[in-house]
């Protein structure tokens, strides 16, 4: 049984906490590029417990900085985004996207000391229609390259990106994405079929208790969940956890299914799911379309300007996720409309939005959860106490070893050999 101390280490992400400092060594997908317009209004942005603002300057460069003006701590959210910088409306001090002070409107020129003032600003980049933020050491030589995760590396036209806020810790969201045994139950029909269909969804629904093989990797952890298929073969669903908060789920065939999800902590009790999929390879599974697809989810409340006002589903805790009890009896196992909302309900309904470790009774089906928790705890402690760099933070090419998906292989084959062979063939095609 895991301890409360482990739970706190894994879920507390503010600056100065072990996990918070650890996560600041990685690039975070933080906002859709379309959310920011040149010389447009600033946007409140909560990341790792920090209240930030994001804006796009006159030249199109994105700035992300602490919302407090370095002069008197007035909020720069109310600032004027004008002529290459954000100007505080309290005394007119102006800062560029890198945090440099450009002007002190209320200070006589001969007393000006703007070269000594710097707003707390973070490095940003844009790729695949997403603004990425790096919150670690801002020295040029210490900033790593963006992660080489397949789904995030396409051009904007070939990349589907979807943001959805969850009102819970990032950890149960992440763990739900690497918990394969729930797929045929939570996302299944109201009544389990008596005969097994031959396609992958039929196999999952008819046999909800796979067995597992697991391994640690340079980028995180991986599992292969296997079930009997046709004579002499096993059906494998291979998936991955990638440091610090990425999951690759096996919701399509490995030959043509390039997706990834980031579970970006906003703070200890909120996270932003950022879903990436390569449009040219997207496979939409029967499970995903049973009660609503993944890539076409668009039922959001209107965005507001507060810290938690972005990308909130209309079906939510306050309205019981619009559960339909009649559908629960007759059509779907939950009566909640769609794979995404079913997952949202389960994770947000946990006490305080956190898996309470001391109440858990983990089973063999949870081996990937226990392996991943242990791997994260070891890596965080190694960074905190020994200064050992976080896995893949400085070697983003390691992520290219991973792609999730399903396939069949002879039951005598080693699962990792079969996986690597199928992945190599898929990429060579």
Could you please report the per-residue DSSP string of 45-106?
EEETTEEEEEEE-TTS-EEEEESB-TTT--BGGGSEEETTEEE-TTT-EEE-TT-BEEEETT
**Per-residue confidence (pLDDT) for residue 364, from 0 to 100:** 83
Cα–Cα distance, 314 to 300 (Å, whole number): 5
**Per-residue confidence (pLDDT) for residue 429, from 0 to 100:** 80
Cα–Cα distance, 290 to 205 (Å, whole number): 12
Q: Report H helices in 248-322.
A: 286-290
Per-residue pLDDT of the chain (429 residues; tens, 9 = 90+): 567 889 999 999 999 999 999 999 999 999 999 999 999 999 999 999 999 999 999 999 999 999 999 999 999 999 999 999 999 999 999 999 999 999 999 999 999 999 999 999 999 999 999 999 999 999 888 899 999 999 999 989 889 999 999 999 999 999 999 987 787 778 877 877 655 555 555 566 666 678 899 999 999 999 999 988 888 999 999 999 999 999 999 888 898 889 999 999 999 999 999 999 988 766 555 444 443 444 456 789 999 999 999 999 999 999 999 999 999 999 989 999 888 899 999 999 886 556 677 777 887 888 999 999 999 999 999 999 999 999 999 999 999 999 999 999 999 999 999 999 999 998 888
Name the DSSP letter for residue 350.
Answer: S
Of 262, 285, 93, 48, nearest to 188 by C-alpha is: 285
| Range(s) of the chain covered by CATH 3.90.380 | 152-428
Question: How do beta strands 259-267 and 159-166 pair?
Answer: unpaired
The CATH code belonging to domain 27-143 is 2.102.10.10
- pTM metric for this prediction: 0.93
Cα–Cα distance, 182 to 200 (Å, whole number): 15
For residue 425, what are the CA distances in angstroms to 239, 419, 420, 421?
A: 18, 10, 9, 6
**Per-residue confidence (pLDDT) for residue 295, from 0 to 100:** 46
**Per-residue confidence (pLDDT) for residue 183, from 0 to 100:** 76
Q: Is the peptide bond before 244 cis (omega within 30 degrees of 0)?
A: yes
pLDDT in tens, 32-77: 999 999 999 999 999 999 999 999 999 999 999 999 999 999 999 9
Cα–Cα distance, 126 to 63 (Å, whole number): 11
Q: Are 90 and 74 in contact (CB under 8 A)?
A: yes
Q: Are 65 and 120 in contact (CB under 8 A)?
A: yes
**Per-residue confidence (pLDDT) for residue 64, from 0 to 100:** 98
pLDDT in tens, 181-227: 787 778 877 877 655 555 555 566 666 678 899 999 999 999 999 98
| Range(s) of the chain covered by CATH 2.102.10.10 | 27-143
State the CATH class of domain 152-428.
alpha beta
Name the DSSP letter for residue 346.
Answer: H
| Residue 24: CA count within 13 A, CB half-sphere | 24
């Amino acid at each position: 049984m895991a301890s409360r101390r482990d739970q706190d280490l894994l879920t507390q992400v503010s600056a100065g906490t072990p996990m918070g400092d650890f996560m600041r060594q990685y690039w975070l997908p933080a906002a859709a590029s379309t959310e920011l317009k040149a010389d447009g209004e600033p946007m409140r942005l909560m990341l790792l417990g920090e209240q930030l603002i994001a804006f796009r300057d006159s030249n199109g460069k994105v700035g992300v900085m602490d919302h407090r003006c370095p002069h008197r701590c007035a909020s720069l959210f109310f600032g004027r985004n004008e002529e290459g910088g954000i100007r505080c409306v309290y005394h007119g001090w102006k800062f560029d996207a890198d945090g440099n002070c450009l002007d002190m409107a209320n200070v006589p020129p001969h007393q000006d000391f703007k070269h000594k003032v710097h707003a707390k600003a973070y490095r940003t980049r844009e790729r695949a229609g997403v603004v990425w933020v790096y919150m670690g050491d801002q020295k040029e030589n210490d900033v790593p390259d963006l992660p080489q995760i397949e789904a995030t590396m396409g051009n904007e036209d070939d990349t589907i990106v979807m943001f959805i806020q969850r009102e819970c810790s990032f950890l149960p969201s992440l763990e739900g994405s690497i918990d394969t045994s729930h797929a045929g139950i939570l996302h299944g029909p109201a009544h389990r079929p008596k005969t097994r269909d031959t396609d992958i969804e039929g196999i999952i629904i008819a046999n909800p208790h796979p067995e597992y093989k697991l391994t640690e990797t340079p980028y995180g952890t991986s599992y292969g969940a296997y079930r009997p298929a046709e004579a002499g073969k096993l059906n494998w669903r291979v998936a991955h956890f990638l440091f610090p908060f990425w999951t690759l789920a096996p919701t399509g065939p490995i030959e043509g299914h390039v997706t990834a999800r980031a579970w970006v902590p906003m703070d200890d009790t909120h996270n932003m799911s950022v879903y990436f999929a390569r449009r040219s390879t997207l496979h939409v599974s029967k499970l995903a379309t049973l009660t609503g697809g993944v890539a076409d989810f668009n039922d959001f409340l209107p965005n507001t300007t507060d810290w938690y006002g972005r990308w909130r589903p209309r079906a939510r805790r306050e309205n019981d996720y619009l559960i339909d009890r009649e559908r629960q009896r007759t059509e779907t196992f939950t009566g909640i409309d769609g794979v995404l909302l079913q997952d949202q309900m389960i994770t947000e309904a946990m006490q305080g939005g956190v898996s309470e470790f001391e109440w858990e009774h983990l089973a063999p089906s949870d081996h990937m959860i226990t392996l991943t928790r242990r791997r994260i705890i070891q890596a965080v402690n190694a960074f905190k106490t020994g200064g050992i760099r976080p896995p893949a933070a400085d070697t983003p090419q390691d992520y290219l070893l991973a792609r999730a998906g399903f396939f069949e292989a002879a039951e005598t084959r080693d699962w990792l050999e079969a996986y690597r062979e199928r992945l190599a063939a898929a990429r060579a095609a």
